[in-house]
Chains A and B, each alone.
Chain A
Amino acid sequence: MAAIVESSDDAIVSKDLNGIIASWNKGAEKIFGYTAAEVIGMPVTILIPPDRTDEEPQILERIKRGEQVVHYETVRRRKDGAEIDISLTVLPVLDKTGNVIGASKIARDITQPKRAEKKLRRSEAYLAEGQRLSHTGSWAWNVLTGDLFWSQEHFRIFGLDPEKATPSYEMFFEMVHSEDQFLLKRGFEKAVNERSDFEANYRITRPDGIIRRIHSLCHPVFDESGALIEYVGTVIDTTERKRAEEAIRSAQAELAHAIRALTLGELTASIAHEVNQPLGAIVADGQACLRLLARDAPDLGEVREAVVCMISDAMRANEVIRRIRALLKKNASEKAPLDINKTIQEVIALAAGELGKNQVLLRTELEADLPPVLGDRVELQQVLLNLILNGCEAMSGVGWQPRELVIKTRKCKPDEVMVEVRDSGVGIDPQNAESLFDAFFTTKEGGLGLGLSISRRIIEAHGGRLWAAPNEEQGATLRFTLPANCESRL
């Protein structure tokens, strides 16, 4: 018995009814830091921190009544002054007649477990806070038992009270929006069969009828033998983010439209020229007809020729107006397979006046038989128009040097088409080559600095790239790539 007492890691101490220490084992030496010689005969209160001095009389009172104190968690002070958490059990010591003559105390150091518990509690609190802030809930689904665990935030996202609801596999799928149920279930079951990670976007209908968008990620957990135990995952409420993204997209579309209108506004003079050119020809031809018909022997062949020209010029004027309307009308992006060379020709027709005004010679090197690109015609026209007008403006400052704008297309990879707009203008400072694409960056007086940033956004939304580089000799070249759609030939 004495050997057990001696070898125990717990402190085993006995004291009399006055609280004077009578025995002190090795465990007590280790926990409290005093040797037996130091404490035997001393009051037990030397171990008690000043704010807990009232504990000892209460304990003694209970012992005197013959009661036990079991696993009483409190704080005691070591010899070196450090406070430690202990679990205390105090038993009365009786004499042969059954009178209480003292107490034996067993104290266990629980500082480590206490600390771990605090840490755990804190990390749990952080986790819950993190989940709440990030609108992220977590779950675990035991594959064997079918038990489903949800975090507090998971309940909150799903609009349920954690005290009342018990999550289950079936309940979860019932909450998923009916249009998303089938695909989600099939996808998850497939992942479980393949023991693979799974990611999904779906909608849920909460009990209050509100629909939320959820993004979920999960992965399988295996035991040591490699058997699948459970799936753990997260659910993120992306409703607000999706809404914000949509708002940004629509704001950008509106901005792009405004810029388009602005660009066309700048082009008004050129467009008027484009329309007046055929109108002028029609009027001149009509007047020529009247003069020809007024002759004694009218040359009807020539009159007919003039009328044919009038009709084709009227069509041409109409085409210009139709293009402007098309460029102004559309807002939402609509992608369809299109021939980039044809799109370029359409834009050239719109910009012809501006090219003429700036005395720019336009040369095209369009590769034949290009695969179609998947794109929004109006948006791509806007980009091209922008690049052409920028090129024209860059060349307006070069005085008497030749002003040549070259538009090239080619297939640079089997599934990629590249468009190049090369000017012989003032060129670009290599330092500025990237900031050209920043919104509100401009080197032009009165420029808004939005053209290239919008253009880049459009090209990137098409899965392509747009960049600028100075030419070796004179001017700059802007290039963009677009993924080609080889399967659907036009």
Chain B
Amino acid sequence: MTEANQMVIVIDDDLSARTAIKRLVGAMGFSVKTFGSGQEFLYGELPEEPSCLILDVRMPGLSGLDVQRKMKERGVHIPIIFITGHGDVPMSVQAMKAGAVDFLIKPFRDQDLLDAIWQALERDRAARQRQAKMADLQRRHGSLTACERKVMTLVVSGLLNKQIAAELGVSEKTIKVHRSRVMQKMRAECLAELVRMAERLGINSPKD
């Protein structure tokens, strides 16, 4: 994946700061988009490609920390690098606790920014992969019939076929057929893998 396929979004109310960072990040080879305020960014379209945010802390209207919180509320998980003209410790702690990648104080070394950008993009890429895997898993789980889904839930909770048959009031043979369909549709090679998938999907055993 080349730099140009990755988007760096700069949000800073100060025009010259915004322009300078855009130029620097552009010179590093990334695609850059800029916004003059948090609102502009939040109401715009979210990028498709792996991306990260360079966000100024002090801005009129929504502050950088406000933007971070609003993104979380909306389920937007683009990694954030905070920048500020004058940072205090509590502010940076708050930002880092809320999941920021880095907190840079202007003027910063370009290598520090570049490192932070790489780290943030890596995070986003990993998150996107996780998200894609999860979506795939959910799709597979969605393809199960109601009956198969019940069987899967009972299987991963550790019941034997015989016990499942008694629970659902069908023959043990029927359960065996359902079980092999579940393994097939979920592309699970063994029971352990199916249990892990169930965990990721948040399937709990009915006894709990």
Chain B residues numbered 16-55 whose CB sits less than 8 Å from any CB in chain A: 16-17, 19-21, 23-24, 26-28
* A288 near B106: Cβ-Cβ < 8 Å: no
B107 touches A306 (CB 8 A): no
The CA of A299 and the CA of B103, in the complex, are separated in Å by: 31
Contacts of A309 in B (CB 8 A): 16, 19-20
Q: Does B84 contact A (CB under 8 A)?
A: yes
- Structural contact, B110 and A287, CB atoms closer than 8 A: yes
Question: Contact: A284 with B110, CB < 8 Å?
Answer: yes
| B107 adjacent to A360 (CB under 8 Å) | no
- Asked if residues A288 and B27 are in contact (CB atoms below 8 Å), the reply is yes
| Binary contact readout B72-114 vs A (1 if CB under 8 angstroms, 0 otherwise) | 0000000000011110100000000000000001111110000
- Are B16 and A313 touching (Cβ within 8 A)? yes
Complex partner residue of A353 from B62, B85, B105, CB under 8 angstroms: B85
Contact B60 A355 (CB under 8 A): yes
Given contacts A273-B86, A291-B110, contact A306 B16 (CB under 8 A): no
A360 and B16 alpha carbons, distance in the complex (Å): 20
Q: Is residue A486 within 8 Å, beta carbon to beta carbon, of the partner chain? A: no
**Residue ID in chain B nearest A284 by CB atoms:** B20
User: Once bound together, how far apart are the Cα atoms of A333 and B27, in whole Å?
Assistant: 51
Nearest-neighbour CB distance to chain A for B77, whole angstroms, equals 24
Q: What are the residues of chain B within 8 A of A273 when measuring CB–CB?
A: 58, 84-86
A contact residues around B60 at 8 Å (CB): 355-356, 359-362
Residues of B within 8 Å of A270, CB to CB, are 86
B80 to chain A, nearest CB (A): 17
Q: Contacting A284 at CB < 8 Å: which of B88, B105, B107?
A: B107
Interface residues of A in 302-329 (CB under 8 A from B): 302, 305-306, 309, 312-313, 316
Q: Report if A269 contacts B (CB, 8 A).
A: yes
CB atoms of A281 and B19 under 8 A apart: yes
| Residue A357 CB within 8 A of the other chain | yes
* Contact between chains at B107 and A288 (CB < 8 Å): no
Give A361-406 interface residues, CB cut-off 8 Å to B: 361-362
Q: When chains A and B are docked, how far (Å) is the Cα of A272 from the Cα of B107? A: 12
The distance in angstroms between the C-alpha atoms of A284 and B28, with both chains bound, is: 12
Residues of A within 8 A of B19 (CB): 281, 309
A276 in the interface (beta carbon within 8 A): yes
Asked if A107 is at the interface (CB within 8 A of a chain B CB), the reply is: no
Is B59's CB within 8 Å of the partner chain A? yes
| A74 contacts partner chain B, Cβ-Cβ < 8 Å | no
Measured between alpha carbons, how far is A26 from B51 in the docked complex, in Å?
A: 130
Q: For A281, give its contact among B20, B26, B109 (CB under 8 Å).
A: B20
Q: A273-B86, A280-B20 are in contact. Are A356 and B59 (CB under 8 A)?
A: yes
Contacts of B157 in A (CB 8 A): none
Instruction: Say yes or no: A277 contacts B17, CB within 8 Å.
Output: yes
B61 near A: Cβ within 8 Å? yes
From residue B87, how far is it (CB to closest CB) to chain A in Å? Answer: 9
Interface residue? A300 (CB, 8 A): no
Q: A279-B107, A361-B60 are in contact. Are A284 and B86 (CB under 8 A)?
A: no
Interface-centre pick from B14, B28, B110 (highest chain A CB count, 10 A)? B14
Q: What is the distance, in angstroms, from B13's C-beta to the closest C-beta of chain A? A: 7
Which residue of A272, A283, A288 is within 8 Å of B26 (Cβ)? A288
Q: Which residues of A contact B110 (CB under 8 A)?
A: 284, 287-288, 291
Asked if B205 lies at the interface with its beta carbon under 8 angstroms from chain A, I say no
Instruction: Confirm or deny: B63 has a beta carbon within 8 angstroms of a beta carbon on chain A.
Output: yes
A284 to B86, CA, bound (A): 16
* A 263-285 contacts with B by CB, 8 A: 269-270, 272-285
**Given A353-B58, A355-B60, A357-B58: A269 in contact with B23 (beta carbons within 8 A):** no
Report the nearest B residue to A277, measured CB to CB.
B85
Cα distance, A288 to B23, chains bound together (Å): 6
B84 contacts across to A, CB distance below 8 A: 273
B62 touches A359 (CB 8 A): yes
Please, how many angstroms separate the alpha-carbon atoms of A17 and B27 in the complex? 140
A281-B17, A361-B60 provided; 18 other pairs, C-beta below 8 A? Answer: A269-B88, A272-B85, A273-B86, A276-B107, A277-B14, A277-B17, A277-B85, A278-B17, A281-B19, A284-B17, A287-B109, A287-B110, A288-B110, A309-B16, A356-B60, A359-B59, A359-B61, A360-B60
Binding site for B on A (CB under 8 A): 269-270, 272-285, 287-288, 291-292, 302, 305-306, 309, 312-313, 316, 353, 355-357, 359-362
**12 A-B pairs in the complex with CB atoms less than 8 angstroms apart:** A269-B86, A273-B84, A277-B17, A277-B106, A280-B83, A281-B17, A287-B24, A288-B26, A291-B24, A291-B28, A306-B23, A359-B61
